[in-house]
Amino acid sequence: MSKVTETVFEVDLNALRHNFEYLRSKLQPGTKFLAVVKAYAYGHGAPTTALFLEELGVDYFAVAYTGEGIELREAGVQAPVIVLHPQPTHFEDILRYKLEPSLYSKGVLQRFASVAEIRGLHEYPVHLKFNTGLNRLGFDSGDVEKVVAFIKQHTAVKPVSLFSHLAASEDPKELDFSRSQISDFKQIAERFESLAGFRPLLHQCNTSGILCYPEAHFDMVRSGIGLYGYGNSPEYSTQLQPVGSLKSVISQLHRLEKGQSLGYNRGFIAEKTTVTATLPIGHADGIGRQYGKGKSSVLVNGQVAPILGNVCMDMLMIDVTDIDCREGDEVIIFGKNHSAEELAASAGTISYELITAISRRVKRVYKR
Ligand SMILES: *Cc1c(COP(=O)(O)O)cnc(C)c1O
């Protein structure tokens, strides 16, 4: 790709295809694949990403909120879309856009069923979420009887899947905990099936679940971060390809003499002659202040350049004292040779937070 002339997030759809195929190769034939495209497809642009994945044969999509589902439908996505955390005020929109809600408590199940009943619907697809230890959203295992009794009486809705979510699937130290979540989920599913007389699709694994717990793939898996190229461990990340590269450009070079300061609050004071480069990217673009003060680095012409002082809203400054570079040169904030996982770790966070924070102001450029 030609050198950039402004800050861009380059999205490599071939890498996305590679990651999808890699993850799918871990599944038994027939296991369905749900692509998680919430948070603007983890920053990569939900419409383009989802349409591309739909062409590749993804079975289901998931988003967090109703508005994100509407965005997919308006882009022309046809596959089923689960809304993981819908607010009851949006139930009418869920029906209007043929989205499928995750229902996680008696209250939301009742409210959704009554909206579906008023419209005279029959067996509208819904997904029931059970809590097996994350303690975030979900029915408890003890709710199965009540839930089944309710759905037997309210045929306006039909549970097409039961699911749960692992709390620590990437952490080998939590093997026992994850296994207990898997066995609890199995018991919930068996109880549901014996009482309801049918078996919805079962799913529990996110990306690290797919990679670490093949015994828990059930009927479908849900992958987000893996599709975008991060495996939550060096072992898996080397098999995946980062899809997004955040690139910027040098706007101006400055030469600071010993004792001179740089940026707001004089966040950096030169201890020796220092050449700095100013880039058109700041915390309003998703590179927060935690990356400043020398904690994190970017790449300029293949060399490591630390971020100096405080990150500004629209700019940040880097140390290029020992780097041969000029104004207009490209800068890699993160990408294939300087991964978002590494950059995030340098500031004490995770790839998920870094990539989903890239704001809409940054242009997405797709490469096929
Ligand atoms: C976000 C999310 C996922 C995706 O997790 P990854 O670790 O990104 O693969 C899967 N399931 C649920 C319920 C989620 O909220």
Q: How many helices (H) and strands (E) does the chain have?
A: 12, 19
> What is this structure's pTM?
0.97
Distance (angstroms) between ligand 1 centre and the Cα of 84 equals 10
Q: Number of structural domains, the chain?
A: 2
Residue 346 lies in a domain: yes
Distance CA 293, CA 308 (A): 5
Answer yes or no: do 130 and 216 share one domain. yes
Say which CATH number the domain at 271 has. 2.40.37.10
Domain of 272, in residue numbers: 244-367
**End-of-domain residue from the set 179, 197, 228:** 228
Is 247 annotated in the active site?
no
Summarize pLDDT for 318-359 with one digit per residue, the tens. 999 999 999 999 999 999 999 999 999 999 999 999 999 999
> Which residues, 6 or more positions from 81, have their beta carbon under 8 angstroms from its beta carbon?
60, 61, 62, 63, 69, 72, 73, 98, 99, 100
Answer yes or no: do 156 and 299 share one domain. no
Summarize pLDDT for 198-236 with one digit per residue, the tens. 999 999 999 999 999 999 999 999 999 999 999 999 999
pLDDT band at 1; cut points 50, 70, 90 = low
Share of the chain above pLDDT 90, in %: 98
State whether residue 132 is helix, strand or coil. Answer: coil
Which residue among the candidates 106, 152, 264, 367 is catalytic per the annotation?
264
Distance (angstroms) between ligand 1 centre and the Cα of 346 equals 23
pLDDT band at 268; cut points 50, 70, 90 = very high
Distance (angstroms) between ligand 1 centre and the Cα of 222 equals 6
Please give the pLDDT value at position 3: 86
Please give the pLDDT value at position 321: 98
Distance CA 168, CA 272 (A): 46
Give the DSSP H/E element, type plus range, for residue 101: strand 100-103
Answer yes or no: do 40 and 188 share one domain. yes
Is 40 annotated in the active site?
no
Answer yes or no: do 258 and 359 share one domain. yes
Answer yes or no: do 255 and 185 share one domain. no
